[in-house]
Amino acid sequence: MSKPTDTASASEEIHVVHIHRDDFGSKMGMWLFLFTEILLFGGLFILYAGYRFIHPDGFAAAAAELDVLMGAINTVVLLTSSLTVVLAIVALQKNNKKLCFFFLWVTIACGLLFLLNKYFEYSAKFHHGIYPKGPALQDMSEGEVLYFGLYFVMTGLHGLHIIVGLAFIGVVMWQIKKDLITSTNFQKLENSGLYWHLVDIIWIFLFPLLYLIH
């Protein structure tokens, strides 16, 4: 990873030496990592499916506690952030660094807005005594308790992924600024985009499964 910079800074003569670069390998590596992410969340989705199958009424009753509007707003926010990441890639490919930065800043703003909404949602739940081992859960049925357990684990893990994705995009922005990522060498930006889109896809499934049960 540090090889190109070392060679570039060492001297101009070394610059002609062929620098090993494998964008496809880089992309494939990113996808292999994403597969492990799919299977990580996949396990939770299977757990969700199993418990919902056993406790359909408990899940429906518990899901009624969630604010559909908040979930819908967060869905729109994440979809928009996915769009801005892909537009940032287009902008960089067109060598428009300024526009690329604009789109990436919008993405970061969307990610933070998502986390802010999640904070308000979690606060409302905590306020009503709904949290793991919370007082409100004592009077609930087994299905409802399982639902809230899954709700906090799945949205919590997803929220962590948003934070990691934001950090990833932040590092990539710094590298674009330093011209380590350019219009002809953009795979790292693309990889950060892949990660961000995967997190978006997970939310695409979480939203109807957690918020829209009737």
Partner 1 sequence: MSTDNNNHSAEGEDEGHIAVAHHPSYGTNILVWIGLLSLTSITVAVAGINLGSLALTVALIIATVKSFFVMNFFMHVKFDNKVLKIFIGVCLLIFIIVLILTFFDLTFRY
Answer yes or no whether residue 29 interacts with partner 1 by CB under 8 A.
no
Answer yes or no whether residue 46 interacts with partner 1 by CB under 8 A.
yes
Task: Show the site string, 89-128: x = touches partner 1 by CB under 8 A, - = not.
Answer: xx--x-----------------------------------
Structure tokens at 78: 């994440």
The CB-of-183 to partner 1 minimum distance in angstroms stands at 7
Residue 64 gets which letter from DSSP? T
DSSP per-residue string spanning 86-136:
HHHHHHHHTT-HHHHHHHHHHHHHHHHHHHHHHHHHHHHHHHTT-STT-HH
Q: Which position among 27, 115, 136, 170 is part of the footprint of partner 1 (CB under 8 A)?
A: 27
- Identify the residue whose tokens are 């030496």: 17
Q: Are 77 and 114 in contact (CB under 8 A)?
A: yes
Closest C-alpha to 128, from 70, 72, 203, 67: 67
Q: Are 165 and 112 in contact (CB under 8 A)?
A: no
The CB-of-153 to partner 1 minimum distance in angstroms stands at 18
Q: Output 136 or 175, the one with its CB closest to partner 1.
A: 175
Q: Output 136 or 204, the one with its CB closest to partner 1.
A: 204
Judged by CB under 8 A, the chain residues 149 through 178 that form the site for partner 1 are none
Positions in the binding site for partner 1 (CB under 8 A): 21-25, 27-28, 31-32, 35, 38-39, 42, 45-46, 49-50, 53-54, 68, 72, 75-76, 79-80, 82-83, 85-87, 89-90, 93, 183-184, 186-187, 190, 193-194, 197-198, 200-201, 204-205, 207-209, 212-214
